[in-house]
Amino acid sequence: MDENEKMSPSEKSPNPGEFNRTIVIQPPERKKRTSRNETTPFHKIMKPFRRRKEEPGDIIGHVDLSHYTDAEPDTSAQLTRPLSQLDSRYSILEERARGGTATVSIARDKNLRRIVAIKSMKKDSEKKTELIDAFVSEAKVTAQLDHPSIIPIYGLTGDDENGVHLIMKLVNGKTLRDYLRNLVLNYRIRGIKVFDEDAMLRRRLELFLRVCDAIAYAHHRNIMHRDLKPENIMIGEYMEVFVMDWGLARIIPKEGEEPSEDEKMSGTPRYFSPEALRGERCDARADIFTLGLILQEITTLQFAVKGKDEKDCMEHIVGGELEPVTHLFGYKIDKPLKAIIRKATAYRPEERYQSVNELSEDIRRYMGGLSTSALPEDIFTRTMRSLHRHRRGFLTFVTALLFGSAAITAYAIFRQLETTREMTLQRQSLNYIYNRTAVVARHLDITALHIQEQLSALSRIAAYLITYNTESDEGKPPVFRPPMDQIGKTEPGMFYSPYYKRMVSLDYGIRTVAPNSDPEQCKRFTAKVSPVITKMKNIVLGSKTGYRFNLEDYEKLKTDYLYNGFPIRSVFIGSKCGVKLLYPWRGNYSRNIDPRQRDWYRNALGKTGSVWGKPYMDLDSVSGLSIPCSIQIFDLNGRFCGVAGLDVSVNQLTNSILDKGNVGDYVLEKAVINNDGHVIFSTKSEYYNKTFDPEKFHQDAEFKTPLYRTDEIRNRILKRGRDYGTIVVNEGEESIVYCYAYLEIFDMFYVVAADYRKLVEHVKNVRAEEARRNL
């Protein structure tokens, strides 16, 4: 859309790109700039009456790098090092635009693979030395102005033909000029009433404030832009704002400093300041005047300076003849905003805002409904304006006050009764999950205690046999037999187990000897300890029935073990001489197993009593993971002889808690965690009911068990010590209850995670069912 479409039908304006000539300007004496940025917008009726608050000071010390970041930028065209070659790092993808002296291309960084924009001097440009100096100066100034709303510069490169190329961020967006054109076109086609111009104006002002922030930063670094216009302001794809084209930027002259005779200022005549056109010295307030013109354009959607050519535009500016602040489509513009525009575009520099911060501060105060320095208000005016601005809210408040006073008391009583009922139900729900958690925790402790008692008894029996047994096993059938790879055939009592996927015998155990062991010493140890197999049978077969079974049940238990497995998979003794005795006999054990190198053996060394290990994968892992428990063996003279141990099925332990205690759709997970917060077993574990290939297992490989839930949950459970309790945590939109109980025998924690809402609903249904049964 042409610029003329933004103007009234009675007056047309030429393309602003035609007004770009070099004009000699004598810079005027510069006034000292002040800054005022001391408040925040308020949105409610009474907030305009509050006193201004002070800004917080810097109390906490920090490393001050301002001697680097606030240093005056170098605007010279001199380079201290030769330029690198463009094609050594960048690949040109396409030429995007071509101007009078330069072209803009899109390229890819060969190292970082990012897409960049490259501004290159045209090889046939006249006055090449002067243009290259200006080009280099622009690159150096822009690169030293490090601000989110100033286009980032990545580098300056050359080529074999002495060309100069400026590498910068590629902005996928449009200029502010194009943004305004598109808005005007929409309003013309569809009508302004279809749109929310209040919201659109606020959005335009927010974009303008980001431009102000960038220019304020440049002025802080003592740089003035001198060529501000909507064409040099880019709006990105995500509404980010970039001030472009710093080719005419220069150092702000100091007070009393005389400009050089050949100093020139070029730009767009429509956006010159009066002092520039009068040939006086310009300072930062010239940029503020231009910002005021841009502010008027984005507010009214038409030019602040109109004219048929550049001379006409400049005459209007020198004569102080700016267009009235009226909206192109007749939309009402607030008086404070008009006053801000008029103050920013005041003819005399001393009557304008003295810093960009003052301008942006007034805009922010206007957007927040506060009084501005451009149009101060008395209390009555502020009150009327605030009430008028929020009249709907005020009327709604009064109406609600009149009609709602009677309902407040009734509602308060109702809420009190409802709150009491909800709190009672919440307490009942937490007690419900707590009591059932305690039941399962006691069950696990009793299970662990029985296992430890059986293992301790096995250790004592072995100690007694090692000390006193003098019977020889010569001529007797061995109760501990070699592995299958040593026997080489199937013997009576061996059966294939569908559960363990291998040959198993519950009539006898298996004996392995570590490499380089003393055969005679191992033979003597086996002969002394062999009678312990009776206790081993009792431990394995009794683990299903609670160690209460008759000999008549032996055959039935053997069948159950082969097809379904038992909680205790196996019992074993490892001697310090290297022999391992294991029950029941397994067909896949190797003759070269050294028990002294296993984790269950080493974990028990130096420990008093039974020691529980972490889940690991063993030869039985075709039916899931195992948790070992082991204890040292000392003969009756106090000499260390070895370690006794057993493997507990993780799947069987998990099954034992699955249908006990808390049962229902409110239960998310049941788990046992150790004191480090690692999950030992869980109903939601990826290893629950998972089997492994016995041919590819890594013997005694402990799994890196995952940590339970989040750091916050683990800390709140573990840091309370050996305790019981409940925790309610908000996780996203859901509330989760964590009920935990310390397992004294395991020295671990049993934790139930439940959906709080479903728990309350479940308890409500249980209580209702109990009430129906009692009727």
Inform me whether the pLDDT recorded for 198 exceeds 80: yes
| pLDDT surpassing 80 at residue 35 | no
Q: What is the predicted pLDDT for the residue at 27?
A: 43
pLDDT-based confidence at 551, cuts 50/70/90? low
Q: What is the pLDDT of residue 77?
A: 66
Confidence of residue 14 (pLDDT cuts 50, 70, 90): very low
Give the model's pLDDT for residue 114. Answer: 94
Provide the percentage of residues in the chain whose pLDDT is more than 70: 85
More confident residue, 122 or 306: 306
Which H/E stretch holds residue 274? helix 274-277
Q: Is the pLDDT confidence value at 580 over 90?
A: yes
Q: 472 pLDDT band (50/70/90 cuts)?
A: low
SS3 594: coil
Segments making up each domain of the chain, as ranges? 3-40+176-386, 76-170, 441-658
Question: Residue 645: its pLDDT value, please?
Answer: 96
Query: When comparing pLDDT for 23 and 105, which is higher?
Result: 105
Output 103-111 pairs: Cβ under 8 A, ≥24 positions apart: 106/170, 107/167, 109/154
- Tell me what pLDDT residue 421 has: 82
The kind and range of the H/E element at 626 are strand 626-634
Say which amino acid occupies 361: E
> What's the whole-number mean pLDDT along residues 695-720?
76
**pLDDT digit string (tens) for 582-621?**
999 988 777 678 899 999 999 999 999 999 988 887 766 6
What's the pLDDT score for residue 26? 42
pLDDT of 22 reads: 37
Judged against a pLDDT cut of 80, whether residue 282 lies above it is answered with: yes
Mean pLDDT over residues 282-291, rounded?
Answer: 94
Neighbours of 213 (CB within 10 A): 19
- Provide the pLDDT confidence category of residue 475 given band limits of 50, 70 and 90: low
pLDDT digits (tens, 9 = 90+) for 129-171: 777 888 888 888 888 888 999 999 999 998 888 788 999 999 9
Q: Which range has the top average pLDDT, 161-175, 272-286, 327-341?
A: 327-341
Helices (H), 75-195: 128-144, 176-190
**Ranges 23-27, 44-48, 750-754: which has the least confidence:** 23-27
| pLDDT above 90: residue 389 | no
**Is a pLDDT exceeding 70 seen at residue 257?**
no
- Which amino acid is it at 467? T
Q: Which CATH superfamily is domain 3-40+176-386 in?
A: Transferase(Phosphotransferase) domain 1 (1.10.510.10)
DSSP class of residue 93? Answer: E
643: confidence class by pLDDT, cuts 50, 70, 90: very high
| Predicted pLDDT at 694 | 54
Most confident of 531-540, 545-554, 622-631: 531-540
**What separation in angstroms does the CA of 358 have from each of 216, 338, 354?**
10, 16, 7
pLDDT reported for residue 29: 45
Least confident interval from 189-203, 425-439, 539-553, 631-645 = 539-553
Query: Which pLDDT does position 207 carry in this prediction?
Result: 96
Give the per-residue SS3 of 665-677: CCEEEEEEECCCC
Q: Coil, strand, or helix at residue 621?
A: helix
Averaged pLDDT for residues 346-372: 93
User: Of the spans 248-257, 692-701, 758-767, which averages the highest pLDDT?
Assistant: 758-767
471 has a pLDDT exceeding 70: yes
H or E element: which one contains 196? Answer: none
Greater confidence (492 vs 237) lies with 237
Is the alpha carbon torsion for 206, 211, 214, 220 positive or negative? negative
- Give mean pLDDT, residues 758-772: 90
Residue 720 has pLDDT above 90, yes or no: no
Sheet containing strand 84-85, strands side by side: 84-85, 153-158, 164-169, 115-121, 102-109, 90-98
Check whether 23 has a pLDDT greater than 70: no
Please give the structure tokens belonging to residue 131: 């243009």
The pTM score is 0.47
> Given this model, what pLDDT does residue 302 score?
96
CA-CA distances (angstroms) from residue 17 to 121, 278, 317, 529, 665?
20, 22, 18, 104, 71
Give the whole-angstrom CA distance, residue 16 versus residue 601: 88
Q: How confident is the model at residue 25 (pLDDT cuts 50, 70, 90)?
A: very low
pLDDT tens digit sequence for 167-185: 999 999 999 999 999 999 9
Neighbours of 722 (CB within 10 A): 11
Length of the chain equals 775
Q: Are 539 and 458 in contact (CB under 8 A)?
A: yes
CATH, domain 76-170, list 3.30.379.10, 3.30.200.20, 2.40.50.140, 3.30.420.10:
3.30.200.20
- Give the number of other Cβ atoms within 10 Å of residue 286's Cβ: 30
**The pLDDT value given to residue 281:** 84
Under CATH, what is the fold of the domain 441-658?
Answer: Beta-Lactamase (3.30.450)
Residue 665: pLDDT band with limits 50, 70, 90: very high
Instruction: Average the pLDDT over each of 223-237, 241-255, 751-765 and give the range with the smallest value.
Output: 241-255
Query: What is the average pLDDT across 532-536?
Result: 92
Q: Which residue has the higher pLDDT, 543 or 99?
A: 543
Task: Map tokens 């690692």 to a residue.
Answer: 678
Question: Which of 489, 701, 695 shows the shortest CA–CA distance to 616?
Answer: 701
The span from the first CA to the last CA of the chain, in angstroms, equals: 82
Above 70 in pLDDT, residue 250?
yes
